């Protein structure tokens, strides 16, 4: 019996992790309550609907948006009193601040997943911490008294259900075009940390500028390459990206996409241009669809993709390095890679998390 507490304001990887884990644990006959807080503004109902759908058999409680932060600890504590959890599992800062401390006051074991970086003020008093990658473990202070375990992310359940066991078809070429077109794609929030601005600049450096902007070496490259770039996601950087793209018809800002299966099927290469990436769930999804990868040497991918074929590396925040990697991937043409996905199966991760729960409770 657990309570999972997360935020509702985004559709990011941390939220997907929390929702997917709650659904998987409920399917394994645990009693799970997921607590989120609704926000104000456009799209909040859509986000709540996404949570309700994603947690599947788990129960969900949405704290009203009007509840102030100073009252959240009391509200969450009352929920715990009624639900009687054995574990309170928190995701991201606010959940640790309000739910973790409320659990601690009641003698309930508090576990936090370290989705980003260690924050001593928020997590210092947790009973257990799950790191999603080994690099995070090094950030935890030596004075932390709780238990720590590294349990990597898993292939999101939605991808598994729609594409069979692994979703891989090594003989498939995207949409069967046969015209030499190579479609690059990147999936993530339009935020500086994801490096979409670097990707647009690198794409135009690698494959030339739009026709109206030709003049000099970059413009002369454009007609040599049959390429497209699709960027899936929304965020605060959209305006900046639109200015960078400036009418380049080869580059499309797709926005939010409800049907990612169809989107991945259009791509020939998946790109992660992140300046900072703790893990990279969209990379796993791309691998499940057999896509070759271009990745910057960010934290998570550098770890779980180390030594694997099928990935071309670039340096972080380096337009020239990423442009060279894009050209190298282009030279490989449309193809599919058979990735070994055994380490990323949900059953493995859920079993490890269940064992960690018992370890913390013992």
pTM over 0.75: yes
Closest by CA to 211, choosing from 173, 161, 246, is: 246
| pLDDT-based confidence at residue 329 (cuts at 50, 70, 90) | very high
Q: What is the mean pLDDT of the chain?
A: 84
- Cα distance between the two ends of the chain: 15
* CA torsion through residues 8, 12, 17, 20, sign: positive
Residue 296, classed as helix, strand or coil, is strand
| pLDDT-based confidence at residue 333 (cuts at 50, 70, 90) | confident
| pLDDT-based confidence at residue 141 (cuts at 50, 70, 90) | confident
Distance CA 18, CA 279 (A): 14
Distance CA 85, CA 77 (A): 11
Closest by CA to 188, choosing from 273, 315, 291, is: 273
- The residue-averaged pLDDT of 316-329 equals 96
Backbone angles phi, psi at 113, to 5 degrees: -90, 130
Give the residue carrying structure tokens 């013992």. 362
* The pLDDT of residue 197 is above 80: yes
| pLDDT-based confidence at residue 162 (cuts at 50, 70, 90) | very low
Share of the chain above pLDDT 90, in %: 37
Closest by CA to 188, choosing from 198, 180, 196, is: 196
Backbone angles phi, psi at 61, to 5 degrees: -130, 125
| pLDDT-based confidence at residue 40 (cuts at 50, 70, 90) | low
Residues 6+ away with beta carbon under 8 Å from 324: 206, 314
* The pLDDT of residue 167 is above 50: no
| pLDDT-based confidence at residue 129 (cuts at 50, 70, 90) | very high
- 156, two tokens: 């999101």
Q: How open is the CA angle 65-52-236, to the nearest 5 degrees?
A: 60
Distance CA 287, CA 264 (A): 10
* The pLDDT of residue 171 is above 60: no
Domains of the chain with CATH codes: 2-153+345-361 (3.40.50.2000), 158-343 (3.40.50.2000)
In the chain, where does DSSP find H-type helix? 13-27, 44-54, 69-83, 93-95, 101-105, 120-123, 134-137, 157-162, 196-207, 217-221, 238-245, 260-266, 281-288, 299-304, 319-331, 346-361
Residues 6+ away with beta carbon under 8 Å from 275: 192, 193, 194, 195, 198, 296, 298, 316, 317
Distance CA 89, CA 354 (A): 12
Distance CA 170, CA 290 (A): 7
- The residue-averaged pLDDT of 265-272 equals 94
More reliable by pLDDT, 110 or 178: 110
Q: At what angle do helices 13-27 and 346-361 cross, to 10 degrees?
A: 80
Please report, for residues 86, 133, 156, 295, 338, the alpha-carbon distance to residue 288 in angstroms, rounded to integers and kept in the order given.
34, 20, 10, 16, 9
| pLDDT-based confidence at residue 11 (cuts at 50, 70, 90) | low
Distance CA 157, CA 273 (A): 24
């Amino acid at each position: 019996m657990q309570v999972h507490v997360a935020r509702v304001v985004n559709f990011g990887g941390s939220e997907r992790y929390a929702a997917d884990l709650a659904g998987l644990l409920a399917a394994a006959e645990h009693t799970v309550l997921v607590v989120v807080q609704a926000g104000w503004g456009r799209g909040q109902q859509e986000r709540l609907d996404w949570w309700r759908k994603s947690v599947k058999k788990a129960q969900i409680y949405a704290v009203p948006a009007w509840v102030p932060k100073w009252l959240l600890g009391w509200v969450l504590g009352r929920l715990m009193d009624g639900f009687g959890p054995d574990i309170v599992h928190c995701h991201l800062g606010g959940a640790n601040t309000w739910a973790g401390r409320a659990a601690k006051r009641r003698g309930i074991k508090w576990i936090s997943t370290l989705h980003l970086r260690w924050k001593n003020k928020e997590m210092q008093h947790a009973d257990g911490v799950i790191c999603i990658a080994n690099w995070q473990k090094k950030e935890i202070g030596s004075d932390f008294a709780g238990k720590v375990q590294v349990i990597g992310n898993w292939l999101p359940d939605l991808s598994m259900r729609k594409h069979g066991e692994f979703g891989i078809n090594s003989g498939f070429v995207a949409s069967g075009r046969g015209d030499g077109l190579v479609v690059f794609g990147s999936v993530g929030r339009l935020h500086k940390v994801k490096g979409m601005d670097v990707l647009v600049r690198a794409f135009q450096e690698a494959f030339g500028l739009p026709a109206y902007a030709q003049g000099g070496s970059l413009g002369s490259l454009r007609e040599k390459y049959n390429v497209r770039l699709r960027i899936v996601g929304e965020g605060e950087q959209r305006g900046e990206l639109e200015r960078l793209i400036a009418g380049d018809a080869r580059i499309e800002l797709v926005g939010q996409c409800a049907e990612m299966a169809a989107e991945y099927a259009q791509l020939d290469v998946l790109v992660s241009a992140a300046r900072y990436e703790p893990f990279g769930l969209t990379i796993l999804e791309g691998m499940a669809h057999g896509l070759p990868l271009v990745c910057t040497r960010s934290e998570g991918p550098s770890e779980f993709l180390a030594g694997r074929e099928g990935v071309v590396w670039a340096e972080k925040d380096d337009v020239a390095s990423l442009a060279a990697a894009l050209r190298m991937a282009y030279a490989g043409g449309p193809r599919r890679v058979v990735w070994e996905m055994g380490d990323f199966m949900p059953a493995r991760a859920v079993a490890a998390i269940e064992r960690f729960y018992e370890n913390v409770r013992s």
